[in-house]
């Protein structure tokens, strides 16, 4: 499954399955940028969250 991350103002984040966004585009209403900032293929939610955490950690280390 493909998972997507959208980021908005003030640290708002939406991380969900791409199919959820396609089924309910109104999920993106609070986000000015309608393009995902991160995408990942994963077998299940747990694996996807692990990949997201790795991504966020790496991004944080780049800024340090």
pLDDT in tens, the chain (64 residues): 999 999 998 889 999 999 999 999 999 999 999 999 999 999 999 999 999 999 999 998 987 6
What is the rounded CA–CA span in Å between residue 3 and residue 44?
10
pTM above 0.85, yes or no: yes
Spell out the alpha helix ranges (H) of 1-64: 18-23, 45-63
Q: How far apart are CA 53 and CA 59, in angstroms?
A: 10
Q: What is the CA 30 to chain-centroid distance, rounded?
A: 14
Tell me the C-alpha distance between 30 and 7, whole Å.
10
Domain parsing of the chain, residue ranges: 2-63
């Amino acid at each position: 499954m493909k998972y997507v991350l959208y980021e908005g103002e003030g640290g708002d984040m939406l991380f969900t399955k791409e199919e959820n966004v396609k089924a309910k585009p109104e999920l993106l209403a609070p986000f000015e940028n309608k393009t995902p900032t991160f995408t990942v293929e994963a077998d299940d939610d747990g694996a996807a969250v692990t990949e997201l955490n790795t991504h966020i950690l790496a991004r944080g280390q780049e800024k340090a």
